[in-house]
Amino acid sequence: MTKLHPNPKGKYIVGVDIGGTFIKAALLDRQGHIVAVTRRPAHAERGVDATLSMVVEAAREAMAEGKAAADQVCGLGMGVPGRHQSEEGICIYSPNFMGWTNVQLLQPVEEQLGVAAFMRNDVKTATLGEHRFGAGRGFRHVVMITLGTGIGGGAIIDGELRLGSSEGFSEVGHMTVDPHGRQCGCGNHGCWEAMAARDAIIERAVRAIQTGRATALAAHGQNLSAITPAVIYEAAQKGDAVAREVLEETGMYLGIGVANLIQLYNPEVFIIGGGIAQAGELLFDPLRRTVNARAQMVPASTCQIVPAALGDDAGVIGASVLVLERLQAKG
């Protein structure tokens, strides 16, 4: 493969955020502002070629909408879930895309679109976006996590996103926080994401219902699959004691992991994003109490804990930073 070089004269960058359900593509200027944005189905079930065609189509539409010709585009950046050898354009595996085992992602995009393409893990990409243009702006030491189905992480250390020896840096969701805890999808027991992400929250609520506790959530007793984190927050906000306990326990486990990462990465700012972070103070209050109690050697006071600032745009904005970094490295 002959890798294309980014075009230093371009005014625009294409940022792509690949999710399990949708692909989002944006045309951005070099200051991280979104000029045009579009979405396509990810077609995860149809194989890598189908998904990459959607990426190219979405990129073309964003460019057309923003009236950007290919020669006005510096390059395309892409945030992709999973583990990669991203310099080589290879996805080693991606949890939502069955069959994406050692597949080449950049070459087909470059060939079809004619612009230089770059990629990173999706959460690491979002971290770049928050660092350059969001809640981490101006800091040299930043940790970001996204709370959802799992817990993803990215870390900026001495001003740079760190990948480690095989792009496994900051796999924060898979640190053990309770040796006897629930089994995680990875096979280990008591991983942070097994104790504090989506399934753990739901399981706590279901257990309370099954033991017959009085809770508004029991109205879903015939259809446990209707119990989602959003349903639990709603009940908690209305004062449901069981729902509040679920968030309290989840927040406590979240706080253990946050305190650990403060001891290990010593960041100035700790950014929390992802759908579950929407739960607000009912989750953040026990989280902060736990961090204050447990972060002793590197004290909680050394680090601000803040919500993500770019919301759902962090991915495409971060993807544009992947291209900006290459342009700056060039000189």
Give the residues lining the site for a second copy (CB under 8 A).
140-141, 157-158, 160, 162-179, 184, 186-189, 252-253, 256, 259-268, 293-298, 302-303
Do 84 and 51 contact (CB within 8 A), yes or no?
A: no
Partners of 28 in the β-ladder: 13, 34
Interhelix angle 229-237/198-210, rounded to 10 degrees, is 60
- Taking the complex as a whole, the smallest distance from the CB of residue 73 to a second copy amounts, in Å, to 30
Q: How far is the CB of 212 from a second copy (least distance, A)?
A: 26
In whole angstroms, give the CA distance from residue 182 to residue 164.
Answer: 27
The smaller minimum CB distance to a second copy, of residues 68 and 269, is found at 269
Shortest Å, Cβ 81 to a second copy: 13
Nearest CA among 53, 176, 174 for reference residue 111: 53
Smallest gap from residue 185 Cβ to a second copy (A): 9
Query: Which residue in this structure is represented by tokens 């995680």?
Result: 184
d(CA 177, CA 196): 10
Question: CA-to-CA distance for 21 and 331, rounded, in angstroms?
Answer: 38
- Contacts of residue 59, defined as CB under 8 A and 6 or more positions apart, other chains included, come to 14, 16, 25, 76, 109, 113
Instruction: For a second copy, give the closer residue by CB, 9 or 180.
Output: 180
- Reported as type and span, the H/E element at residue 306 is strand 304-307
Shortest distance (Å) from residue 43 CB to a second copy: 26
Distance (Å, whole) CA 120 – CA 77: 8
Q: Which is nearer to a second copy, 141 or 220 (CB)?
A: 141
Nearer to a second copy, 84 or 220 (CB): 84
Helices 106-113, 48-65: crossing angle, 10 deg rounding:
40
In the complex, what is the shortest distance from the CB of residue 174 to a second copy, in angstroms, rounded to a whole number? 4
Residue number with CB closer to a second copy (70 or 264): 264
In the complex with a second copy, which residue's Cβ is closer, 24 or 84?
84
The minimum distance between CB 299 and a second copy, in angstroms, equals 9
Which residues, in sequence order, are bridge partners of residue 14? 27, 76
